[in-house]
């Protein structure tokens, strides 16, 4: 499969609005990859595929989480967290993605994880700051992303956690772990 196959297969999976989001993430991720000297091809492939399963039904995602033996505790948390891990496995099984950096970037693009690699960080951040994102505080994250992937991700995580708490939603533990991991260097939690 080549890049055009990944684009075509992804576009088939989703409505126009999410497809346009995907293209903005691809563009934003390319800018970040250039800025921070990260592997462009891996970033490109992961960004194209990151939301591959975003529009699968809850039943399909639950079935996949069980069948592929993904972390079962995902099922205790918001459905929003399910599509990344499932897409990572689907990308391997259906699209032949073998590269661990790409798989991780897809898997963890919603939660983050401790010790994220550069490809993971770029895709995570691009998904948060792509130009159509309007959530409060996103502009401050875009500014930090001019100079530091880690500082930008730390702020995005804090804002996500605050948002989830304000909505009365539970925060997936891995998201706290990611914040602790990245913030430990800057005394910043």
Task: State the residues that interact with Fe ion by CB under 5 A.
Answer: 51, 127
Q: Which is nearer to Fe ion, 127 or 181 (CB)?
A: 127
Q: Where are the alpha helices (DSSP H) in the chain?
A: 3-12, 16-36, 40-49, 58-67, 83-95, 100-107, 118-129, 138-144, 149-166, 173-183
Number of C-alpha atoms within 13 angstroms, CB side, residue 14? 23
- The encoded tokens of residue 126 equal 């691009």
The residue among 120 and 127 lying less far from Fe ion, judged by its C-beta, is: 127
Which of 106, 188 has the CB closer to Fe ion?
Answer: 106
Q: Which two tokens stand for residue 92?
A: 């391997």
**Residue 54 or residue 144: which is nearer to Fe ion going by CB?**
54
Whether residue 62 contacts residue 40, with contact meaning beta carbons closer than 8 Å, is answered with: no
Q: How far is the CB of 128 from Fe ion (least distance, A)?
A: 9
């Amino acid at each position: 499969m080549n890049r055009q196959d990944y684009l075509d297969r992804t576009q088939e999976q989703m409505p126009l609005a999410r497809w346009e989001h995907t293209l903005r993430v691809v563009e934003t991720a390319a800018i970040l990859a250039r800025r921070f000297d990260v592997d462009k091809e891996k970033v490109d492939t992961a960004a194209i595929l990151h939301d591959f399963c975003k529009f699968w039904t809850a039943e399909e995602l639950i079935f996949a989480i069980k069948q592929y033996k993904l972390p079962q505790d995902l099922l205790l948390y918001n459905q929003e967290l399910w599509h990344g891990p499932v897409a990572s496995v689907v990308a391997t099984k259906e699209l032949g993605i073998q590269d661990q950096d790409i798989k991780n970037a897809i898997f963890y693009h919603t939660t983050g994880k401790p010790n994220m690699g550069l490809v993971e960080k770029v895709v995570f951040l691009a998904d948060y700051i792509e130009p159509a994102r309007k959530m409060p505080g996103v502009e401050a994250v875009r500014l930090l992303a001019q100079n530091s992937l880690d500082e930008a991700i730390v702020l995005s995580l804090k804002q996500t956690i605050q948002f989830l708490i304000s909505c009365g939603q539970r925060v997936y533990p891995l998201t706290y772990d990611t914040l602790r991991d990245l913030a430990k260097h800057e005394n910043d939690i």
